[in-house]
A and B are shown apart, each in its own frame.
Chain A
């Protein structure tokens, strides 16, 4: 379930995964750029505006009717943040033409529709339709303000912001409220055109009879200028442990600990870090789950994850405000245990097996088949399923300990629930 790659020229690449496993054909297209405060907001508004109308389907309603008619074809777009890159993501799927009575016609029409929505938005002067722009600017602002509605996601985003105030990584994937407020229609449209003309474009396809689709895509027009150079991420040592606390009226507090890993995806010892994170907080058998939840009954959820592009590891848990110190104590003990090399053969084996099988299982879902390559894409090196399995299998307890010893606690953030009942 790996991709074959082909270069369409001028920084546009096509990645194909031919398989008859699915009833759908899935296409994802990514355009990446450096994450920066101003362009983050300008880029973040683009998906919403593309959904408002294309030249052939100039309203959301007309797009929706067309997709319904095409037997539940779907289009969506969003913005992702991976390390210090921001990716404009287009998603499209349709029913495998061979399963439909009017399949071939349906397939061609679906692809043309996708291309029209992604590439030919309805415009006015040098911008998007002004009325649409004004509405979506307000909606985007509300989205960013609405992050607080999900306390866990809010706490994580806030912790990252406080941890990396002077690094691009501190920028939220949709930008800031002030950048959104300052955003002009013409600037957003220029940003969209620049992305299409100068940033790397990667198109992934998963499904049956892809030659037909690939040929259609190869015939499409990309008006490309010279490609922009993208920056590697900022790597920084923590200056010391910082502690931030904020209060909101909530029933539960969220605790976040942010560590710098000093190890990243391109490094040879990267998979030591991946396994280290798994032993610490990636699974129900992990140290955090066992000790914070099962032994101390402090939390319902507790876990950790790594951004290997940037080199950070984040731990988070939903706990009672009165138990913050106790929880921080237990978490630090667990990291410390890893640093001392307290890793049982069972923990190591369970984690490696768990990681391999969750990666293998990605081969059963078209979106996951594509998404597992994104970290490789932004780091300039996509890795096959087999290479990743071999790398994980090769990790030893000493590798895990070494990765743990490189962890530096940078920031502790507590989103304190002020209306907690005892």
Chain B
């Protein structure tokens, strides 16, 4: 077991069980709530993989998310009721790269933790309960269809990527969901729900030994079946389409400008890039930026304007988005500002100020148990050393910022996604 001091003075315990399960425990005396998350490195991107003895299989899209719904099913009663009796609230989510099951509770931590691990490691799937779930999931997908930012973003990813499965909705489509069967679900389950592919994080006023005992009872033995090997399609560097437009029942147009880059897998470099790009994007799109001020005062953007940088070992892109009456002009302005930032010079004072901001934000983030735990999971799966945050932050120079702006905002690899209100698209 390893012990790490967090920058806020707390002690984090990490290690592996004999079967390969990674765990992290952060005791936080004084907090009322205890929070646990059990996650597997298996998300919507993993719909093509190699099964030992069977070769490469293609499963219907949306299956990771479907499986997440179904693990809540029990032969007798349901999982929600069990947690409810302890006053615990249980939930789950599926992202592109992981599926996570979590709960928070005030009392009965031991029982709740035991139940979390038990239900995730004991699937109960029948033809009937799988069929029944399809209606619920189709309503979930329809809800997202009406969600403007999701639609805008999905269209952007389809424009940026040719083959990377990030193009597809995490939940799949009503058509792909209709093809999901018990056999497919179990195949995915056996392939990816292996201890060596999973992590358990517990945060709150807990006894670490209790956590290890409970986990040890469920994850017995030292064997972990081989985790399926993912097969990712080769993604060309250039974008698929550089301009896409769509319409929806919204009050005002929205525009997103996306820029794709080659993903990097080295953990230290990846975290450093993440922080450096955070600074770059703030120089362009934060309220403290002169560009923000100019675009806002001209009425082109409103306070929905923002930017994000999404980098994992499997995809990497930056996105600038806003509601705007003139999406074409917005796209043009963003590209102009990016060029200006790349040409520099970038001010030392600006970079130092933004480093102070990131430093404060990092300390404040430890106040949210959920955030700390979820963040740990993402960084663990991506291999980024989150607890080296402050060292990495200190190492960032103006030169790093300038270089990242040039490399990771390459306008030759950009795409524009526009969402118009119905009837407004032809101008």
Binding site for B on A (CB under 8 A): 19-24, 59-61, 63-65, 68-73, 93, 95, 99-100, 131, 135, 138-139, 142, 145-151, 248-252, 283-285, 289, 293-294, 297-301, 318-320, 346, 349-350, 353-354, 356-358, 360-361, 363-366, 417, 420-421
Contact = CB atoms under 8 A, between A and B. Distances in A.
Contacts of B140: 300
Contacts of A131: 297
Contacts of A68: 286, 288, 353-354, 356-357
B106 A357 contact: yes
Given A149-B148, A252-B139, A70 B85 contact: no
B427 interface: no
Contacts of B368: 365
B289 A61 contact: yes
A-B pairs, 7 with minimum CB distance: A71-B360, A72-B360, A297-B135, A357-B87, A353-B87, A64-B287, A64-B288
B245 interface: no
Nearest to B69: A300
Q: Give the interface size bracket for B toward A.
A: 35 or more
A179 B248 CA distance: 27
Contacts of A360: 32-33, 106
Contacts of B412: none
Contact of A72 (B89, B297, B361): B361
A174 B61 CA distance: 42
B373 to A, nearest CB: 13
B389 interface: no
A318 B139 contact: yes
Contacts of A350: 81, 84-85, 87
Nearest to A96: B363
Contacts of B54: none
B143 interface: yes
Contacts of A417: 142, 146
B81 A285 contact: yes
A21 B30 contact: yes
A28 B262 CA distance: 44
Given A356-B106, A364-B33, 15 more contacts: A23-B8, A23-B363, A68-B354, A69-B353, A135-B299, A145-B251, A148-B249, A149-B148, A249-B422, A293-B136, A298-B139, A353-B86, A358-B87, A361-B104, A421-B174
B232 interface: no
Interface string B357-370: 11111011011110
Nearest to A253: B142
15 contacts: A61-B293, A146-B250, A147-B251, A251-B143, A285-B80, A293-B136, A297-B134, A298-B135, A299-B136, A299-B139, A300-B140, A318-B139, A318-B143, A353-B87, A360-B106
Contacts, number: 178
Interface string B124-145: 0000000011111101101101
A142 B302 contact: yes
B247 to A, nearest CB: 9
Interface string B49-89: 00000000000000000000000000000101100111111
Interface in B14-36: 30-33
Contacts of B133: 297
B331 to A, nearest CB: 20
Contacts of A365: 367-368
B252 A142 contact: yes
A301 B143 CA distance: 9
B387 interface: no
B143 A72 contact: no
Contact of B367 (A23, A297, A299): A23
A297 B132 contact: yes
Nearest to B134: A297
Contacts of A138: 299
B105 interface: yes
A136 B248 CA distance: 25
Contact of A95 (B148, B293, B360): B360
Given A21-B31, A357-B87, A146 B252 contact: yes
Interface in B104-135: 104-107, 132-135
Contact of A60 (B8, B136, B250, B287): B287
Contact of A64 (B136, B286, B358): B286
Contacts of A420: 142
A361 B8 contact: no
A69 B356 contact: yes
A69 to B, nearest CB: 5
Contacts of A95: 360, 363-364
A319 B135 CA distance: 10
A320 B86 CA distance: 34
Contacts of B106: 356-357, 360-361
Contact of A61 (B84, B292, B353): B292
Contacts of A248: 249
Given A252-B145, A360-B32, A353 B85 contact: yes
A357 B107 contact: yes
A138 B298 CA distance: 12
A135 B33 contact: no
B85 A363 contact: no
Given A68-B357, A361-B33, A353 B84 contact: yes
B245 to A, nearest CB: 17
B102 to A, nearest CB: 14
A71 B365 CA distance: 13
B136 A354 contact: no
Given A68-B354, A71-B359, A250-B249, A349 B85 contact: yes
Contacts of A63: 287
A57 to B, nearest CB: 11
A135 B357 contact: no
A10 B129 CA distance: 63
Given A61-B287, A151-B146, A249-B422, A319 B364 contact: no
B332 interface: no
A65 B139 contact: no
